[in-house]
Amino acid sequence: MNTDFQTVVRSVRDLPPMPAVANKVLELLGDPNVNYSKLGEAISSDPAVSARLLKVANSAFYSMKRQIKTIDHAIAIVGEKTLRSLVLAASLEGISKSYGLLEKLLWEDAMGCAIGSRIIARKFSSADPEEAFLAGLFRHLGKIVMNYSEPDKYRALVEAAYTEEMSPSEVEARFFPYAHEVVGAAVLHKWNFNRSLVMTALHHKDLAISPDEEEDAEQMLRLAATVNLAGFVCMKLGIGRRQPLEDLDVAQCPGAIALNLTAEQVEGVLEEIDEVFNENREFFIG
């Protein structure tokens, strides 16, 4: 699938910039001789990101043995890959111009899929857990960007989907020129994220990653399948939704099939994600 991401980005009326603190942290982490003092200063420059980072680092999800009280301590304890995930997660929440029910659901959906993707990746060795966390976090970045750029139109889209008992994805074409998958991938490309995250955002629903077009297609496919499965788990549990889809057969979703998981394995991971998400909800969502 050849997509002109520059054209897509130009179509977005008001493109959110990469959050400044995240941009600086990624730049510093890209240096093999990273200066941890400067890293701490960059994170501390944004009080909201600092507070969220410390809150999440102290959650049971990251299983730290003792309480982390300072940014410097967090940097020393969690490691660079986890730090990158947490800073990006904390920064993403601040993209919205306002914060009502719709924004709360979009954020819960992002965090639920991130948590679920990390659990699935660890449980089934389907991807690097921290890359899976980020891929899950960015799965619906296109929806967040649509809501940021044209909030009235996106709200109308969501209301139309609710009234007609359809998913927002099924009515997107009435309101926007590009699907959320394409918008999310284009923005990640614009923000210089790696190809795996871009392709996962683009193909998290159809898993149509071709070995003829992508050098690491098999690895990308497993990452996309991980995120796809986590997304279906979120739908069934009602994470990021007004109502859970209790009758959804998650074992038959594309991700579960691509990862060759049994119904018992899917049921087990569904229960684990439900438990972990609810245990850590206040750290990630509150």
Q: What's the pLDDT at 109? A: 95
The CA–CA distances, whole Å, from 103 to 18, 193, 215, 234 equal 18, 23, 36, 16
Q: What's the pLDDT at 284? A: 73
**Cβ neighbours, 10 Å, residue 81:** 15
Structural domain spans, the chain = 18-94, 98-286
Task: Write down the residue that tokens 């960015």 correspond to.
Answer: 138
Q: What's the pLDDT at 286? A: 60
Contact 132, 219 (CB under 8 A): no
CATH of 98-286, one of 3.40.630.30, 1.10.3210.10, 1.10.287.130, 2.60.40.3950: 1.10.3210.10
DSSP category for residue 16: P
From first to last of the 286 residues of the chain, give the pLDDT tens digit.
456 899 999 999 888 888 888 888 888 988 888 888 889 899 898 887 888 778 877 877 766 667 888 888 888 777 888 888 888 887 887 777 677 889 999 999 999 999 999 999 999 999 999 999 999 999 999 999 999 999 999 999 999 998 988 888 889 999 999 999 999 999 999 998 999 999 999 999 999 998 887 888 999 999 999 999 999 999 999 999 988 999 999 999 999 999 999 999 999 999 999 999 988 777 777 6
- What distance in Å separates the CA atoms of residue 164 and residue 178, rounded to the nearest whole number? 21
Digit-coded pLDDT (tens) for 122-150: 999 999 999 999 999 999 999 999 999 99
Q: What's the pLDDT at 213? A: 78
Residue type, 138: F
With b for 16 or more beta-carbon neighbours within 10 A and e for fewer, the 147-157 pattern comes to: bbbbbeebeeb
Q: What's the pLDDT at 1? A: 46
DSSP category for residue 251: G
Q: What's the pLDDT at 48? A: 79
Which two three-digit tokens encode residue 185?
């991938």
